[in-house]
Chains A and B, each alone.
Chain A
Amino acid sequence: MKIATIKTPDQVIIPLQQHAGAACNPLVRVGDTVSIGQLIGDGEFRIHSSVSGEVTALSEMPHPSGKDVLSVVIETRNGEKKGIKPEELHAGTIKSIIREFGIVEPNGLSTISKKVDIDTIIINGTNTGDLSSNAALMLDYPSEIVYGLKALMESVGAKKAIIVIELNSEALHVMRTETIPDSNIKIVATPTYYPAGTENTLVKKFTRKKVPRGSTPEDRGVLVSSIAAIKALHDAVHDSIPMIAKTVTVAGAVRSPGNVLVEIGTSVKHVIDECGGCSGTPVKIVINGAVSGAAQYSDEVPIIKTTSGILVQTESDINREPPAPCINCAWCVDECPIGLMPHLLYGYADSAQFDKCAELYISDCVECGMCAYVCPSKLPLVQIIRYGKHGVAEMGLETVEVEV
């Protein structure tokens, strides 16, 4: 599994929001010449230009979130790579490195959010469904990932790290060989499970620490990070390259699917074309995985820092079965990684009984989509639960602990 490179597009659209929180302020104007790695947006997370060229527009452009977002449009021109001066790496500054080099976790957050004592680092190296970028990164850059992980461990003072990899992943052997000299980095093989990306379930499964509602794993001394962020950390610390490209899995109805390295801001259309184009008529384009990804209304949306996969679906891939009544099969209850009662939440939210939704902890739902995946009645569980969450938030209903 080799990560392929694709042709740099003629134009990139770099949104000033590629993370959770407030959008960055643009630092360039229309007509400015920018070079690779140049800072173009500043704020809570920094944004750098992924190409060299000229800024042709600064306007609201399509974004994978579905909303139009203020973006810097750059017409590419070949140019020299311009890095940022390497910084001294010691405890306390890792947070600033992450900010300066614009490293964003796949969930849109920063790797470190607070200044707390970290004991264990968990790296999620699992892949789900159509996404395989984690395995591809580990196969292609095992030593870089270990380097990045060690840098992170050293700077936060973590004594041990766990890399979670599926049992059947090719990367398992590679990473095991790579980490033999380090007794404090443990490779944990796990059967494929879903959703692997949920922090609290990872922490509970691999450190047996419970993360109470309202707190983060960091409060329990556990830092959860991702292969993509660790690789970006290596690039930042070792080569002074900010996060300007992303490894993306292209899957589904494309002629040559696989993992490709894509400059931030490249349109989905360009990536698909570079992967041989669509085989068959594309009906749906999904970013970040078939189960919990987001469907796109346009193929003009750019690849951003949180993008890890593009899935092209044709009509035969889409289930348009109308919903049937719930038959209480309890499959959703068995699948829910959080331990919620999805079918009850669905029923209460559908009838706008938001107080009942709050009592059943609706806001704990991580929207992994597993309940709606297994549902034999094909109920739009996630859609209605989102409505319920909105209703609970609107009415200011706190999740109350009920005596049962």
Chain B
Amino acid sequence: MTYTISPLPHVKSRESVKSVMWGTVAALIPITIAAIYLFEFPAIKIILVTVIAAVVAEIIIYKAASQPITIDDGNAVLVGLILALLMPPSISDHIWVPIIGAVFAIAVAKYIFGGTGTLVFHPALVGFAFLLAAWPTYMGAQSTVISTPNLGSFSDILIETGAGRLVEASPVLVLLGGAIVLYKRYVDRRVALSATILLILLILITGKGWQLPYVLTGGFFLGLIFLAADPITSPVTKKGRLIYGIMLAVLILIQLHFGAYFTGMCFAVLMMNVFSPLIDRSTIPKPIGGK
């Protein structure tokens, strides 16, 4: 009788990279459905095309580079889906814009930076920032598309009829997905909670109560929970993750002060991505028993 021998542990948790990525995709399904309900055909078109573009881009690039193709880990689908959700519905008339965004996200932000695990900037945000810089008018950079839910009425929180982007269709459903990924630890709790709570507190303290509705949107919840707390781009040390969340909240507040709302938040997250390795390096913990 021969037995398998291996180093410990002899049991492993069921969670895998696949379950983390696909689980995050699943948590975004409610808001995706809400977006389709609110924007109908354009939303379906944007989401399908962007996700397929991201997946096809990954297959082609990794094949050309003779790298193992790992689309089954769900990362490309997740990047495509988040990018699609950041689009304004009117982009469906210029569907080549999100296609370019998805290809840019995969080719530059993911492949060039070494793929899942080593990338520095969140690919979906990089794609979004690129499109915003290249075609601001198509991307709805004008303030006219800012959605401001009326806190007084519940229906606006559930379905935001004034939504300027797919993700803003329903703040509550983004929060629901966020609660799932936070519970499952698919995103980092420390980053997401410290950033969200501190941001709301800062807005209340600085007296600009009028800005609070601007923050309680699907876009902000997606940004703070799914993008900022994304495991790959956020720090790993316990202290570092708190610092990251705090710095992010302060940066967003500065952007808010200058009138940049959703896009300001996106750029704040991208800026913080730069600091992530630095924060990690300076917050290495002392083990117990260390001096």
Contacts and interface: CB of A to CB of B under 8 A. Distances in A.
A and B physically associate? yes
Interface of A: 66, 129, 200-201, 204, 210-213, 282-286, 290-299, 311, 313, 317-319, 321, 324-331, 333-334, 337-341, 343-344, 360-361, 364, 367, 369-370, 372-378, 380, 382-383, 386, 401, 404
B8 interface: yes
Contacts of B238: 333-334
B65 interface: no
Contacts, number: 160
B12 A293 contact: no
Interface in B225-262: 231-238, 241
A290 B285 contact: no
B206 to A, nearest CB: 31
Interface string B98-130: 000000000000000001111000000000000
Contact of A380 (B7, B20, B290): B7
Instruction: Tell me which of B8, B73, B233 has the highest count of chain A C-beta atoms within 10 A of its own C-beta.
Output: B8
B185 A331 contact: yes
B240 to A, nearest CB: 9
B143 interface: no
Given A283-B3, A317-B11, 6 more contacts: A291-B9, A292-B8, A299-B1, A344-B236, A376-B20, A404-B282
B12 A200 contact: no
B16 A376 contact: yes
B7 A290 contact: no
Given A292-B8, A318-B4, A201 B241 contact: no
B13 interface: yes
B287 interface: yes
Q: How large is the interface on B (under 10, 10 to 19, 20 to 34, 35 or more residues)?
A: 35 or more
A3 to B, nearest CB: 24
A39 to B, nearest CB: 34
Given A295-B6, A369-B8, A369-B9, A339 B17 contact: no
Contacts of A282: 1, 3
Given A313-B10, A324-B16, A373-B12, A360 B241 contact: no
B11 A376 contact: no
A255 to B, nearest CB: 17
A295 B2 CA distance: 12
Contacts of A380: 7
Contacts of B10: 284, 286, 290-291, 293, 295, 311, 313, 318
Interface of B: 1-13, 15-17, 19-20, 70, 73, 115-118, 185, 188, 231-238, 241, 282, 284-291
Contacts of A343: 236
Instruction: Tell me which of B13, B118, B289 has the highest count of chain A C-beta atoms within 10 A of its own C-beta.
Output: B289
A327 B231 contact: yes
Given A321-B16, A339-B287, A327 B117 contact: yes
A372 B234 CA distance: 21
Contact of B285 (A293, A324, A341): A341
Contact of A324 (B73, B234, B282, B290): B73
A91 to B, nearest CB: 29
Enumerate the 3 nearest inter-chain pairs by beta-carbon distance, A residue then B residue, closest first: A325-B117, A369-B9, A383-B7
B116 A339 contact: no
Interface of A is mostly: loop
Nearest to B5: A295
Nearest to B15: A376
A372 B241 contact: no
A296 B10 CA distance: 11
Nearest to A380: B7
A330 B288 CA distance: 18
Contacts of A299: 1, 3
A237 B17 CA distance: 54
A212 B289 contact: yes
Nearest to B281: A404
A325 B11 contact: no
A129 B17 contact: no
B86 to A, nearest CB: 22
A327 B16 CA distance: 10
A383 B7 CA distance: 6
Instruction: Tell me which of B3, B10, B11, B290 has the highest count of chain A C-beta atoms within 10 A of its own C-beta.
Output: B10
A372 B12 contact: yes
Contact of B287 (A294, A319, A338, A376): A338
Contact of B13 (A285, A340, A361, A374): A374
A188 B2 CA distance: 43
A404 B241 CA distance: 17
Contact of B8 (A294, A328, A375): A294
Contacts of A66: 5
Contact of B4 (A204, A211, A284, A292): A284
A397 B213 CA distance: 56
Nearest to B117: A325
A100 B9 CA distance: 35
A327 B116 contact: yes
A335 B284 CA distance: 15
A380 B11 CA distance: 12
Given A313-B10, A360-B284, A213 B291 contact: yes
Contact of B12 (A319, A344, A360, A364): A319
A324 B118 CA distance: 12
Contacts of B235: 330
